Amino acid sequence: MLGLFIGGFVYFVLHRLTKKGTFIFITAGVVFTFLSLMGPINMTDLPDGNSAPEGFALLTIPMHLIAGLAAIIITPKWVNRK
């Protein structure tokens, strides 16, 4: 949730300061969404020290994609609504 609030603020600032704020935000959002996938893909151990269960990446990758795409799509529409 915190990341989405920060992303919304960043979009607001980019939109006010540059003419291509929406393009920059969407491009950065896509890059950060794909970078966030590296964690689940490369994870062998959970933070508590146990090994990651089989199929852990298949469970977490859709969550990263949904959150990233929601931020990329919804934030510009929400801020630019009239």
Determine the Cα–Cα distance for residues 11 and 74; give it in Å rounded to an integer: 11
Structure tokens at 14: 């980019």
**Which of the four pLDDT bands, split at 50, 70 and 90, describes residue 82?**
low
Residue range(s) defining the domain that contains residue 25: 2-79
**pLDDT digit string, tens, across residues 15-46:** 889 888 888 988 998 999 999 899 888 888 88
Domain count, the chain: 1
CA atoms within 13 A on the CB side of 21: 18
7, 9, 52, 57, 71 from 2: Cα distances, Å: 8, 11, 25, 22, 12
